[in-house]
Structure 1
Amino acid sequence: MTGRWMLSLTAMSCIASAAATSHPPDVDAVFADIKPNAPGCAVGVQRAGELLYTKGYGAADLQSHAAITPMKRFYIGSTTKQFTAAIAAMLIQQNVLSPGMSVRHYLPDMPVFMADVTIDDLIHHTSGIRDYTALSELAGRDIATQSDDAIIAQAKHQLGLDFTPGTQFSYSSTNYVLLARILERTSGLSLDQLLAARIFTPLGMTKTLLWTDLKHPPTGMARGYVPLEDNGFKPLRFDALARGGTGMVTTVGDLLRWEETLQHASNPPWPTLRKQMLTKGKLRSGESIPYGYGIELETWHGAPVEQHGGSFEGWKAQLLYLPHEDLTVALLCNDGGAKQSMMARKVAQLFMPHETSHSQQIRPQQTTSQESLYAGVYVSANRRAMRVIQFDDAHLRMLDASSSGVLLDPVGTGYRTQGGAEIHFVRTGNGYDLVESMNHTRQAFLPLLAPARVNPLGYTGLFRSTELAADFRFRAVADKLVLEHPAWGRVPLSTEGEDAYGAKGYLFLFERNRTGQITTMRVTGGGLWMMVFKRQGE
């Protein structure tokens, strides 16, 4: 491995102590809301192989009151994906795995409708396979109880894909569960054996492992906590562990070591692997997407950023690399409510001397107060395509078929997505229309407008999804439409537009037949796209 970051654990501790006493004072301000007796975070920052800062905030265990330190282990959720993808890249280089081969070549018992899904589609989230976390939540099943076998069985139970493979980008952790199973079958080794032999041991990532034994949590691991409405916290309990899309336990120090190796190691296989992992994926049309091998490849303030977050119940993670600054931020939290992406970027800004002037050059004329007016739900004329615009932390983000969505990069008087689509908001008498242009095609999306009066009785009844094996019942209660959900209980719905309601981050679109009767409901949200429920009657 590279010689730029070959630190022993003792050296790491010494440098961490020194860095903590000479850091910019504003770093503590980023974590000022974390109390010593509450869940918190560990953070590490390095530039060009030099450790600049590392520190822990909050408690690793509320029962023992053990403090979070940079040496604490955390569960990193979806940040695991780049490591799984790295193993796939290694096997592809060795011709053990073919990126263009159908998943049914390796898993012949998968449904026939997956015949056109390739290994490359799994890696880049262009498969159209639905995300198991969203399916489980919508069906009322706890994702912490979903094993690999259960997730694959759920994928087999689907009746089709969200879209034709290779035509869209839609983030789905099911892709990486399937990828992990294929890696194991083609190599003859378990995923934890592959990761240990090819990455963890060679790189000296001594605190990192794939967690496979639920009965024995890794030593030195921070306990995950779920925030409660009364400002308290509930410890997280696992009944099963999914591997591939999640599963890794590590420290900020080991993540920094990994990033330095990925970016700068000169010995094989790293130069070739680096190029392969940090190249944007492509749709069948040739259009680039903002995702490489388990790594989001976006722009931030007009400059490239390579990153991936992790979020699983009581843990949050963020690994962020800025190529123009050769700067890495690793952030790990045991608070399920932590805004890890925002905090990591705030930390990065403190170590970016040119960030402020650079961002001012590329910002459009719109003020943030004006941009907040763009937030909302927009639908195409036939109501089969949708764009959801969110405004958070002074940035616009567009959700299409992706749960995480994509940042809208300000360019001139409009915006550009990572895939190259141009977005403009056009003022109308009803607010704003969204106009999307891509490859000489133009599509308008109109805002969902709430009707003046709503009669909830027209939407009541039982709706069933065969794929979810779940029933939703809608009732009218005091002139309000209420959803009876198997896990959520009774949930009042907000009116989002004509025949459109919202709750729990989901949008429920009701469809009428030619006589005006509601026969179908489609659910969008959390990575699911227009999931069909058929009306069964009252």
Structure 2
Amino acid sequence: MRPSRRITQCLLVGAALSALLAGCATAPPQAVAAPTRAVVSGPTNLRMFAEQSRLSGEAIADLVPSTQPGCSAAVGKVGIVVWAAAAGLADHAAGIPVTTETRFDIASVSKQFTATAILMLQRDGLISLSDPISDYVDDLPWWGAEVTLDQLMHHTSRIPDYWVELDDIGIGFTEPADQQVTVDAIRREQALVPGTGFDYSNSNYVLLAEVVGRVSGLPLPEFLAERIFAPLGLDMVLAPTLHAPDIALSYDDDLSLQEAGWTSYGHTGIITTPSELVRWGDQYRTGDIIQDDFDSGAVLQDDGELYAAGMNIQEDGDLAHKGRMGGFISAFTVSADRETVIAVMCNGHLSNRNGISDRLWAIWDPHSAE
């Protein structure tokens, strides 16, 4: 017998299933336009979504213990949130549950937003991806004149990850280190030969954030708010280490709090819910903000995947990225046809993010069984 678990679950596919919403334990995700495309309308699809919702609820119940740090997940179809659920605890000590409205730091899944900001500035004619980073960030070592914005975006700069330098000077994860401290740490790092292969490094996206601020006159958090979040009506904010009653706490393996002191951004730090993230994911289909330049210059990785503008392009055409910052872990996937988007967010190192994401993908992606 499956143990009783507290699960918040919503099925959201328009008025035809409005009765289901009445039983949802929390308010539904932000309202979106009523479904009009065949993929989310019609009795057959509505019945199918109901079955997929049931199976998804079982997946959450199986994989998220009710007495441990929790997880929240959502599924979108052509920009419409069709299912969302949550289980586990947002605050372990206080016993406060995760709900579908609980916010999380999405960690490295944030990178796609920084990359999008850079591409927007290039479309505006203000920068070129072929520009060296030294055009925008002062006092860099020799590699500043050689590393291009393109190499930063695609992780071929060969600049080491900034945490190595912070650790060397005694600034651990819980010690204060803001954007300036982090950029100064990157200035002290010595790159290998730029452009000689893929080497994932958070330093790349910290530097790209500096480019956005220098060129636009707005720090990256403000740029994203004005150019992306507000126009799309997304409830998102770039604010690393933000504390609020609706933001989950972050837990290590032993259930100790993982309270970050690092507040740099560009590589991490967007706070939101899975439902909001899957709404954003529809940009890969519509092309309103994410355009054809998204995968221009994508770089081949050792595992056969390509790295584009802050997202991995898998061999089957799906887009994906995962994140980890402290106890916050996340997974974000967009189907090859760009019609299905799944987001998973958890607040504990031991949370089964991958298991949840894989189960949901098998349930919701129409091509997963092919």
Instruction: Tell me whether the two structures share a fold, i.e. TM-score over 0.5.
Output: yes
Q: Which residue of the other structure, out of 168, 172, 175, is the alignment partner of 2:204? A: 175
Relative distance call for 1:306 and 1:197 in structure 2 (3 A) is same
Counterpart contact for 1:312–1:336, Cα < 8 Å: no
How far has the Cα of 1:141 moved from its partner? Answer: 4.2
Deviations 1:245-290 (A, max 9, x none): 111101111101111133225x5xx3xx32112345248xxxx971
Which one-letter code corresponds to 1:221 in the other structure? I
Partner of 1:165: 194
Relative distance call for 1:129 and 1:14 in structure 2 (3 A) is closer
Which one-letter code corresponds to 1:178 in the other structure? L
Counterpart contact for 1:30–1:347, Cα < 8 Å: no
Partner of 1:417: none
Counterpart contact for 2:29–2:101, Cα < 8 Å: no
Specify the SS of the correspondent of 2:314.
strand
**Normalised TM-score (structure 2):** 0.80
How far has the Cα of 1:134 moved from its partner? Answer: 4.5
Distance 2:357 2:278 in 1: 14
Partner of 1:404: none
Distance 1:45 1:142 in 2: 36
Counterpart contact for 2:67–2:88, Cα < 8 Å: yes
Relative distance call for 1:124 and 1:108 in structure 2 (3 A) is same
Q: Which structure carries more helix by proportion?
A: 2
Compare CA radii of gyration and give the structure with the larger one.
1
Partner of 1:259: 281
Q: Which residue of the other structure, out of 320, 323, 329, is the alignment partner of 1:307? A: 320
How far has the Cα of 1:136 moved from its partner? Answer: 4.3
Distance 1:92 1:171 in 2: 23
How far has the Cα of 1:321 moved from its partner? Answer: 0.7
Distance 2:114 2:217 in 1: 15
Counterpart contact for 1:144–1:241, Cα < 8 Å: no
How far has the Cα of 1:142 moved from its partner? Answer: 1.7
Relative distance call for 1:69 and 1:26 in structure 2 (3 A) is closer
How far has the Cα of 1:109 moved from its partner? Answer: 0.9
Partner of 1:327: 340
How far has the Cα of 1:26 moved from its partner? Answer: 5.3
Q: Which residue of the other structure, out of 141, 151, 155, is the alignment partner of 2:186? A: 155
- Structure 1 residue 240 and structure 2 residue 262: aligned? yes
Distance 1:113 1:11 in 2: 49
Counterpart contact for 1:169–1:289, Cα < 8 Å: no
Counterpart contact for 1:277–1:295, Cα < 8 Å: no
Specify the SS of the correspondent of 2:208.
helix
Aligned ranges for residues 184-333 of structure 1 at < 5 Å?
184-206=213-235, 208-211=236-239, 217-228=243-254, 233-265=255-287, 267=288, 270=289, 273-282=290-299, 290-299=306-315, 303-324=316-337, 326-333=339-346
Distance 2:306 2:135 in 1: 27
Relative distance call for 1:129 and 1:186 in structure 2 (3 A) is same
Provide the alpha-carbon RMSD of the alignment: 2.8
Specify the SS of the correspondent of 1:234.
coil
Deviations 1:52-102 (A, max 9, x none): 321001011113222111111001111111011111111010011221011
Relative distance call for 1:298 and 1:115 in structure 2 (3 A) is same
How far has the Cα of 1:210 moved from its partner? Answer: 1.1
Unaligned runs of 5+ in 1: 359-538
Specify the SS of the correspondent of 2:54.
coil
How far has the Cα of 1:345 moved from its partner? Answer: 2.2
Relative distance call for 1:352 and 1:200 in structure 2 (3 A) is closer
Aligned ranges for residues 29-428 of structure 1 at < 5 Å?
29=59, 31-136=61-166, 141-145=171-175, 146-158=177-189, 160-162=190-192, 164-206=193-235, 208-211=236-239, 217-228=243-254, 233-265=255-287, 267=288, 270=289, 273-282=290-299, 290-299=306-315, 303-324=316-337, 326-356=339-369, 358=370
Deviations 1:306-337 (A, max 9, x none): 01111011100111011237211100101122
Deviations 1:157-187 (A, max 9, x none): 22x313x222201110000111111110111
Partner of 1:443: none
Counterpart contact for 1:224–1:335, Cα < 8 Å: yes
Counterpart contact for 1:224–1:334, Cα < 8 Å: yes
**Overall identity of the aligned pairs, in %:** 26
Distance 1:132 1:252 in 2: 28
Specify the SS of the correspondent of 1:309.
strand
Which one-letter code corresponds to 1:157 in the other structure? R
Counterpart contact for 2:250–2:328, Cα < 8 Å: yes
Greater RCO, 1 or 2 (C-alpha within 8 Å, sep 6+): 2
